[in-house]
């Protein structure tokens, strides 16, 4: 029977999976049968996420991981493999943006912080996940969550540059890792209502203006990313790598 989206027996790592888009992915991955390992730096949020996944009938555990620090990422990935003996998919969702000054007024510290948070962190995660997948010898899927800021104008130049770097890194890695059966793809979300963006989304004027620019007629929700996560973790995407998945309700077409 054809069941390409059945993830039973697999292990999916979701870094930054305790809230927001990452948690939306984790919910779908667990529902599809994967054991989900949540990685995040907030132990309470990690535990809450695991509790919700288990309450819904899923299998999950968590480990602390601070993507800003190379050694933390290295230890996290090693512990995942030590606990479970495999790593079939790794989703890198950690990162974020801050209110940005005009580019000419941006300090070097502000620039470097965003690059560290959004690009260097992805480098740490991709590298360590790839090392273990190669050693395990069963291939795998590495997926980064970037942003539509990577392909359209953004006032946060440092954030846009970092997210575009994630896309370029995935395209560069795909041929290198493909020989090991590892696929590397990038997801580019548009505006999604999360804990960080909820205040802005609640502003009626802002919300109305934003929705007018979205052909699907609403802003995104974390659950909108569950389907693509399951697809990229499954055999259904076995011939898809070096690609970008724009999930923004159609906003970038306008």
Tell me the whole-structure pTM to 2 decimals.
Answer: 0.97
Query: How many residues can be counted in the chain?
Result: 254
At residue 162, the pLDDT reads 97
At residue 6, the pLDDT reads 97
Per residue in 77-106, pLDDT tens?
999 999 999 999 999 999 988 778 999 999
At residue 2, the pLDDT reads 87
At residue 26, the pLDDT reads 98
Where residue 155 falls among pLDDT bands split at 50, 70, 90?
confident
Query: What percentage of the chain has pLDDT greater than the value 90?
Result: 91
Exactly one of 2, 123, 126, 159 is catalytic; which is it? 159
Task: Judge whether 159 counts as a catalytic residue.
Answer: yes
- Poorest-confidence range of 4-8, 12-16, 80-84, 152-156? 152-156
């Amino acid at each position: 029977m054809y069941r390409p989206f059945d993830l039973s027996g697999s292990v999916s790592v979701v870094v930054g999976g305790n809230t927001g888009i990452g948690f939306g992915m984790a919910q779908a991955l667990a529902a599809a049968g994967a054991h989900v390992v949540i990685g995040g730096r907030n132990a309470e949020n990690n535990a809450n996420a695991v509790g919700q996944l288990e309450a819904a009938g899923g299998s999950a555990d968590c480990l602390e991981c601070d993507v800003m620090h190379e050694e933390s990422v290295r230890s996290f990935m090693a512990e995942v493999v030590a606990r479970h003996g495999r790593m079939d998919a790794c989703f890198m969702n950690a990162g974020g943006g801050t209110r940005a000054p005009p580019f000419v007024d941006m300090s070097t510290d502000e620039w470097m912080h965003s690059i560290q948070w959004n690009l260097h962190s992805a480098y740490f995660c991709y590298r360590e996940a790839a090392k273990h997948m190669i050693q395990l010898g069963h291939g795998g899927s590495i997926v980064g969550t970037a942003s539509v800021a990577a392909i359209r104008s953004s006032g946060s130049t440092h954030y846009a540059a970092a997210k575009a770097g994630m896309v370029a890194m995935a395209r560069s890695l795909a041929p290198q890792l493909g020989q090991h059966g590892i696929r590397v793809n990038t997801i580019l979300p548009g505006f999604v209502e999360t804990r960080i963006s909820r205040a802005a989304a609640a502003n009626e004027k802002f919300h109305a203006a934003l929705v007018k620019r979205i052909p699907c007629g609403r802003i995104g929700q974390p659950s909108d990313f569950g389907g693509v996560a399951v697809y990229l973790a499954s055999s259904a995407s076995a011939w898809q790598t070096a690609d970008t998945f724009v999930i923004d309700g159609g906003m970038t077409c306008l």
